[in-house]
Amino acid sequence: MLLIDTSIWIEVLRDKSQVKAAKLKEIIADRNYYLPIFTKMELLQGCKDEMEWAKMSSYLAVQNYKKPDYNSIWENVARLYFELRRQGITVRSNIDCAIAIIAMENNLTLYHQDRDFEAIAKHTVLKQKKLDLESAD
């Protein structure tokens, strides 16, 4: 099962040619996939206007999400960030740490286009794959 990061959705949504959307569909094929719940927030906050907000909100309303255990997520994110920083790794976003935690807790492979996840994976059990939606993979 897959967890698809916001960085992938941004690439797909920005591509007016739909080539990247077709590539993503080919990559995930008939596999089960989820969006981290934080993707909903990240995509909505990037909307340009009310019309885009309405369209994005409607699209996101029917997606399958993985949600964290809200009783432990914030401490787990802080711990991950703390442990990585102690090893000389600074993750640019706490949300990326939260997404990594969701992937690890649910034993999902995280598909992304964000270098922070590669760094996190080097020091944790995070299963990840940096997708290239430009070329055959």
Residue boundaries of the structural domains of the chain: 2-130
Q: Which of 83, 90, 109 is nearest to 27 (CA)?
A: 109
CA distance 38 to 22: 24
Put the strands of the sheet holding 109-112 in their side by side order.
65-66, 33-36, 2-4, 109-112, 127-130
pLDDT of 110 higher than 90: yes
Give CA angle at 131 (90, 28), nearest 5°. 130
pLDDT of 137 higher than 60: no
Of 33-37, 64-68, 112-116, 130-134, minimum mean pLDDT range = 130-134
* Predicted local distance difference test score (pLDDT) of residue 134: 80
User: How far lies 118's CA from each of 18, 121, 130, in Å?
Assistant: 26, 5, 8
DSSP designation for 67: -
* Predicted local distance difference test score (pLDDT) of residue 135: 63
Q: What percent of the chain has pLDDT over 70?
A: 98
* Predicted local distance difference test score (pLDDT) of residue 25: 92
- Cβ-based neighbours of 44, under 8 Å, separated by 6 or more: 53, 56, 57, 60
pLDDT of 124 higher than 50: yes
DSSP designation for 123: T
Q: Does domain 2-130 have CATH number 3.30.413.10?
A: no
Q: Which of 110, 133, 131 is nearest to 18 (CA)?
A: 133
Q: How do residues 16-55 score in pLDDT, each as one tens digit? A: 999 999 999 998 898 999 999 999 999 999 999 999 999 9
